[in-house]
Each structure stands twice: as structure tokens, then as C-alpha cells.
Amino acid sequence: MAKKYFGTDGIRGKVGEYPITADFFLKLGWAAGRVFASEGHGFVLVGKDTRISGYMFESALEAGLTAAGVDTRLLGPMPTPGIAYLTRTLRAQAGIVISASHNPYYDNGVKFFSVQGTKLPDELERKIERHIDSQMTTVESSKLGKAKRLVDAAGRYIEFCKASVPTRLDFSGMRIIIDCAHGATYHIAPHVFSEVGAEVVTIGAEPDGLNINDECGATKPERLAATVLAYRADFGIALDGDGDRLVMVDHKGEIVDGDELIYIIAKARLNVGLMSGPVVGTLMTNLGMEHGLKRLGINLIRANVGDRYVMEMLVEHKGILGGENSGHIICLDRTTTGDGIIAALQIMAEMQDSGKSLHELKSGMQKYPQVLVNVKANKKINPDEDTRIQKAVKAVEKKLGDGGRVLLRASGTEPLIRVMVEGQQEDLVKNYAHQIADDVKKAIEA
């Protein structure tokens, strides 16, 4: 059964537009509290990123949980993976994250973690939804929940991140630039990397509630690239607003995306005999990464776009490493969810062990040109079932052979058909993408 409010990564939207409103979050806190109370006893953690609406939603969730008779521990600004870790290590009943990740400040959302530090099962989300649509009540006064702030949350998570790499490693020779996207890692990441010995220059660490992800961070690494060159740094680290994405910049100012970073970590694990299972990517994972892993003897399997689907496939196939080219990187041998800080530390560890620069490490795989064309669809059409579109796709696939790939998918949020073609020759790839896009337009108009 389809869910009414929860998507693939919680609930998200524009602040002030239903359901991202204070009254909905009050009801959501109460509904979640009712479900958690029925599942057992214990407290719920609530953390947030730095966007201004977080104050409003934190208070609303706290009030709802209290009315349901559930105790709350407030974490304040805390990276999403940090909340997952604390939920697990403190044996909380659940963790709640108030964040819209890489979105602008005027968006917000909420996601939940289980006591294992993983996303909530679908059935629990459905139970919460059923309570949202019922009449809100309040437990008697003697059973109301209590709320208090957890003052040492940041320190606990900092120590956890540092412990994800061996203490024998000395990073004192590294000069690095960290872009915190004016987000939840602003008071975490600089401490982690300086405490493992690196010389740290920090940018994007002055949140004002409105500047989160604004021309900075993992979605806009150009400023980081310029800063790396200006400081002659060894590399740069770009995180997103809630700290679950990582994009890096090498000493030449070249951007290193999630696919390349996953390849580096996979090769490092293989070299020390710790690689287990396949790597899980998505439908958008670059074909160059698939070919690079294949040369190492590592299989790549593809999940639907979204870290939830990557995680499901990792568990199913007993893998330890997966993620997306956008920078969601899941190292299951280190933590339970995508974590930008921990992923960056794994890259740094490999740089130290191999004696190679980030630029040298990424050269093991060659990214293929990837062209995406969006076609407006004013009516619903399934590209997989349209004979004209499939004929065009098959013709291009035949020309590309093993050296390229075609992907068509309908957008889940906009009236668009996305046409993606990748291959070894950029000019050909562009021509093929526009050729298929034209056939899609004709099919829509027919």
C-alpha cells in the first residue's frame, strides 16, 4: 500500500505549505510518539540542521511527543549520520532528524531512524500515518513525556568519527579545506579533522538560518575548488547541509564525485582483503565506475535512485559499500548510514597508506561523458512501453555496444521524461541523447 506522507527519504517540502507546517509536525510528533509508546519504552532523540524553520519544528515535535507520553532528548544542530549513530549507541527508541538535506533554507523535512540506526521499516511509517489521520489526544498529566537537552552529543559523535580510521595514521602533513555548507557539520567537521592531525581551513561554517547550502557545500563545490588552489591545499572536503553527502576536490582543483570516491574506497578495501560483496550503485552511477570496478574483480549492482534503495540492496547482497554519484556514500563496515565525514576519513586513510594524492587515486577509473536531456511530458507516458521510443533506444544501444548506456525514466516529482546517454565519446553521446529526446517528444505528441 502506498504511503500518504512518507516518501523514499522521509517527508520533505516547502516550509508553510502542507505538510511542512507547525500543526502537522505537532500531529506527527504525537502520532510517532503513540507508535513508539506501543512498541516499547524509552526516549526519542530529536536533532536538526541549521535552517531557521528548525526551531519551529523542533518545538512542535517535542510538544507532540510529550502529549503522547514519550520522553525527548534534544540534540540541537547535529548531522543526520550523527543522529543515526546516537540513536543506536544511546539505545533510543528512535531518532528524528529535522532537515531538508541539500535543499535551500526555505525547504524542510523530517526523517526517522530506528534503534539500529537505520531507516524505519515501511510498516512503522504506515502506522504513524494512520495515527496522523486520527483524532489527537493527550495522556493524563502524570504520564506526560519530559524533554531535556543532551549536552555532550557533538563530542560523542566526533569521537565516533575519529575511531573510523586507525590511530596509527598520522595526518599531520595534510592541509585541507572543509566546506560545511553552513549546515549541521559546522561545529563537528573542523574538530574531527583537526583532532586527527590535519591542518584545517574551514569555509561555510557560519550558519545564520538562511545560508544553508547557498552556493556552497557538496552541491556547489566551485568555491571550495578555488579555495583549495588559493591555499595550495592537498585537497578539499565539501559536505551538504545535513552532513550525509561528500564531494571532494583534489590539489589541482578538480572535483571528485561520489562515484570516484566509492571506487577509491572499494579498491582500498580490496587491497587489504576487507572488501566483501558487490558495490551497490544506482541507475545513475557512471559506467566508467562499473568498468573500473570490473577490472578489479568487483561487481557493481544498480539500485533505484535513493540511498534507501542502495541500503536495501546492500543488505540483500551482503555488501559493505555503496552510494550515489551525488555523494551519498555508505560504508557499512564503519556505520549504518551515509556519512560524509566518515567517508572522507576513509579516503584520507588510503592517501596515507598508499602515499598517493587524491588526484592519483581517482585516476584508476575513467568517468564517461554522461548527457541528460529532460523532455516535458504534458501527458502520462511510459517510455518502456512505447514502441517508437524503444526502437530509438535499441538503435542507440546497438551503436554504443558495451562502451555506453541509455537510461530513460519518468521524473517522480515533475512532468518530465529524463533521457540519459553515456559513452566514451562526448560528441556522439550528445547526439544520441538529443536524437532519443526528439523521438520521445514525437511519441508524446502522437
- The domains found in the chain, sorted by start residue, are 11-151 (3.40.120.10), 170-362 (3.40.120.10), 370-445 (3.30.310.50)
Each residue's pLDDT tens digit, 108-158: 999 999 999 999 988 999 999 999 999 999 999 999 999 999 999 999 999
Provide, rounded to the nearest whole percent, the portion of the chain with pLDDT above 70: 99
Packing angle between helix 258-271 and helix 287-296, nearest 10 degrees? 10
Cell numbers at residue 381, please?
507516458
pLDDT at 413: 62
pLDDT value of position 298:
98
Comparing CA positions, the residue from 266, 271, 267, 280 lying closest to residue 318 is: 280
114 labelled catalytic: no
Mean pLDDT of 385-413: 89
Q: Which three cell numbers stand for residue 99?
A: 532537515
Catalytic residue among 101, 114, 164, 326: 101
Locate 359 and state its grid cell: 588526484
The band of 386, judged by pLDDT with boundaries at 50, 70 and 90, is confident
Is the pLDDT at 418 greater than 70? The verdict is yes
pLDDT at position 412, please? 64
CA–CA distance, 321 with 318 (Å, rounded to integer): 10
Report the C-alpha gap between 55 and 49 in whole angstroms: 10
> Are 177 and 201 a contacting pair, CB within 8 Å?
yes
C-alpha cell at 130: 494512520
Across 92-112, average pLDDT:
97
Listed residue (180, 9, 33, 174) closest to 94, CA to CA: 33
For the cut 90, the answer to whether the pLDDT of residue 415 exceeds it is no
Instruction: Select from 226, 24, 8, 29 the least CA-distant residue to 101.
Output: 8
- What pLDDT score does 148 carry? 97
Residue 343, SS3 per DSSP: helix
